[in-house]
Structure 1
Amino acid sequence: MSRHPAPEPKHPRAGRAEAAERRELQSAIARFLLAGFVALVLVAIPVAFWIRAEAERHALDNAKIITQGLADYAISPLMTEQLLARDPAALTQLDRLLQPWFDGGVVTRIKVWDAQGRVVYSDVDSLIGQTFDQPESARELLAGGPATATLESQNELENAFEETSGELLEVYVRSTAQSGTPLIFEAYYDGTGVRQEQEAVLYGMIPPLLLALAVLQLAQLIPAARLAHRIQAFQATRHSLLRHAVEASDLERRRIARELHDDVIQDLSGLAYALESEERQGPEMQRPLFANARTILQENVRTLRAMTSELYPPDLQEVGLEASLLRLGTPLLERGISLTVDVPDKFVLDRERAVMVYRVAREALANVAKHSSAQLAELRIRQNGHRTEIRISDDGLGFDPSRPPLEGHLGLRILRDTIDQAGGSLEIQSAPGSGTTVTATFVNAAVPTP
């Protein structure tokens, strides 16, 4: 019976990275849904007000049509000279004709005005014959203007009998007496019917509108989730490439440093010893030549050893980041530059970020030692939440960051590109005579493992 090998357990860092990716994806989808809900609310609210306003306009238009019909077919034929003269028989006949409209609750109040603002008929007998100031809309109506309808509480002087009725629908239409005299027919209706019609239209249209917007939102969710997966996969691939690039760079630096130390430096050191022996035992006239050659060779050996340390510092893995940063101050002290190192008591970085922090500090401090002519330098590290910041500043000569670097001085530019690819940032602030500040910011989380 064949046996399949058990799958290798995942590295804890890979598990944490995958969990972080899932949380990030879920958070992105939640933000998308929240944004969609907010957009839905922002769309639904003005649409609801618009529907409500349109329903009110539709109800008012219907009220004007009904009132115009009432004026043309029920009022105008009975507007005789006797009624205009307030003949009791004519008034009683019109009251009897309009009574069904009041009994059915359709109409609350009726008034008929002449051009002088006199009430020539009303279902309230005490109003007949009284004169009131007419609004501008009434005068325009007599001149052939459009009918008007408003929905509001009545509190004018001529509304003494309607002001306690609450919100009423007031409609003005043009009418004529049998003699052709222009009149204004005014009718009041209960406003409850208009509001009920508004609510019926609103409640009938809002559910399908919300359903359509919700379906649209859900239809967008699927491609949005796919896009988020693709972006996340792209970021994971980019981070993986960055990590491999950092590891490859470390391996290459380590190889070059090892070859320099084991081959070139050892051979040059042996040659220096040979020159020292010739200096002591060789001819008297050639000893100064051998001494000068030995001095030059030993200086080159020291330079190569310093370069080896810069290529791949062995103490970074052995003694840790903090001690390695402190050792970077030695070349500065040899040049009379005082270095202050401010590192938090407890700070945590993964290997990739620790290497980047060290490289930023090494490159910046090397520039301070070689080019700044400074007296004081400061290295400070701060961690805030998920971000780490390293800042190196000096009081030296400074320079113009906008000018291209001199040939061979590309260290900070390469660092900037590497940090940008890692999702961080590198900022250089300097000016001639004002010193230099190099600030690098990193995300604390480890590079995701695919």
Structure 2
Amino acid sequence: MTATVAETTVARPVSVSRAYRFELVKLLAQWRVRALVLACWIAPALFVAAVSQQDSLPVDTLFGRWMNATGWAGSLVMLGFAGTYALPLLTSVVAGDVFASEDRLGTWRHLLVAVRSYRRIFAAKALASLTVLFVLVAGMAVSGIVGGLAAVGDQPLAGLDGHLLSSGDAAGKVLLAWVCVLAPTLALAAIGLLGSVVLGRSPMGLLVPVVVALAMALAQMLPLPVAVRLALPTYAFVSWDGLFSAPAQLGPLLIGIAVSLVWAILATALAYFLFLRRDFTNLTDEGAGRRALTAGALPLAGLVAVTVAIVGVSTPSWGSGIEQDKVQRSVATAFAHLYRLQTKELNRPDVSEAQLATTAACTKGGGMNTPEGPGNDWRCVVSWHLPDVAAVGTAIYQLDVTPDGRFMADGDGPKEVNGYFQVHTPSGDTPNPLWQFDGNVELLPTTPKG
């Protein structure tokens, strides 16, 4: 008797690449994701082009006052908006729903039968959501740049210390700034994955990245120690402005990027760990629960404490970081650069910054308060010299310094120097560059120049 042994074919899990393509098609098949892709690739160009043609500009936004002077400013205005509002919302819609949607539709069993691997399902979903987010961010960057260049042109851009960036230099820094915000975007996306895994079909999973980003944005508005500020993963959304100073203020930016990447790794690892522990044979198990919430929240809270300690010990930076000598150097440097720009626009003889020998004397609260920390009660008297002129020139500025080190200087006389008047330039009439200008105080300890 010949026994026939039936060979059974072992079902192998589907490859990650095939599962990734399947998840990517599922995401792009959703009408809201398609709408977001369309909006991110079209809306910024229309917005930047329209605003750049207006007389009233968003001067309270970084680089907003330069939108009708150079096309590179519009993309940076969009970048500031994206970091505060758009990117947290995009991560919520994409990453915050990638696992929860299976719970709502009740399709986990079908997906597990098709792929036959928890690990590959997680990898495919995470990679697909990140791919869509990269497409959305790239669309906002490219669209904002195209809209600005089409409406205004590629004229030089004034940096936050007043020096002019050539078109090529401005292009490189604008693109680099957009690349830098990918790190905090990854952190929010990982938090979205974690919320989607932990909260299941609950709509709260969609809100996790938005709530986290909003809470950290509000924290950035408080007078926190620098170590705490830099320990938040969303700080890279604001620290890209250090690229537009000479020399570039890279310390806060690099720390912000590193913190964001650590958050992205830890949150993704927690989501992966909790996903593998889920019992998919139990139809009532959505992954949510006190243990899951604890396992997801406590490690992230511990990461904040550890990061604060590391940054505080290594820098050190336990104060506000806004000190009198830093404010004076920043105001004097920006004034000197912008004074030369004004001289060029008024067709006056050029003068070097060494000849100007610009200095600034700043007080806070009329000299009654300690000259440190944020506030709108800073007052600076700028002094400079001109060749073959015995008298010393002076100008007064009122400063509003925010907790993250940004400031807006408002000219308070004399009106011939820093008052409001139009300057005729080859690209059109523009306001006096010394009337109002934005600047940045580096929060980390610095060594004064020469």
User: Which band: TM-score by shorter chain?
Assistant: under 0.3
Q: Which has the higher strand share?
A: 1
For normalisation by structure 2, the TM-score amounts to 0.18
Who wins on radius of gyration, i.e. which is larger?
A: 1
TM-score (norm 1): 0.18
Q: Which has the higher contact order (CA 8 A, sep 6+)?
A: 2
